[in-house]
Amino acid sequence: MYRDMKGSTHVLASPEIAVVAMPTDERVWVPQAKDVWFRPLMLNTRQGQWCNLLRVRKSGVLSRHLHPNPVHGFVLKGKWFYREHDWVATEGSYVFEPPGEIHTLTVPDDTPEMITFFNIQGSMIYLDEQNRHTGYEDVFTKIDMCRAHYAECGLGADYVDQFVR
Ligand code: FE
């Protein structure tokens, strides 16, 4: 009785999400900083987790941050690296960022644009060079940023609701 007529979906299950990840409408990209945007895909309020695309059109240091929880990344375009590691994540690369890691996201000078899918658990804690906390993000701050941007750009604040579970 907890299955629908097709027997495939539990009545307590959340609705699925299936979207074209790369939007054709530029307004879907939410500005994060100058020349930095994110595109929400799944904003999980039950588990404190979110999936998005990060798009960067500048080079140099983007942020130094700590993840208390795991992050998974997959590079769709361009490349980037963490100053603390000797590898470069290039198009097609998968990256696992373990809980507890502090790193400094950097885009090389020869990369005009990078786009990466990130699945982020919990939060991102931003740090200065002395590892002092300078700010944080979680699924709720991401939702708030989306709502403010979509209201302002004309899509409507509730445009983000389709990505929230
Ligand atoms: Fe990270």
User: What CATH number has the domain bearing residue 85?
Assistant: 2.60.120.10
- Distance from the alpha carbon of residue 123 to the mean position of ligand 1, in angstroms: 10
pLDDT of residue 64: 96
Confidence band for 11, pLDDT divided at 50, 70 and 90: confident
Q: Is residue 11, in this structure, part of any structural domain at all?
A: no
Q: Is residue 150, in this structure, part of any structural domain at all?
A: yes
pLDDT digits (tens, 9 = 90+) for 57-70: 999 999 999 999 99
The pTM (predicted TM-score) of the whole model is 0.94
pLDDT of residue 2: 65
- Distance from the alpha carbon of residue 161 to the mean position of ligand 1, in angstroms: 26
Q: Is residue 78, in this structure, part of any structural domain at all?
A: yes
Number of domains in the chain: 1
Q: Is residue 18, in this structure, part of any structural domain at all?
A: no
- Distance from the alpha carbon of residue 28 to the mean position of ligand 1, in angstroms: 23
User: 57 to each of 32, 107, 139, how far by Cα in Å?
Assistant: 12, 9, 24
Range of the domain at 36: 26-163
Q: Is residue 8, in this structure, part of any structural domain at all?
A: no
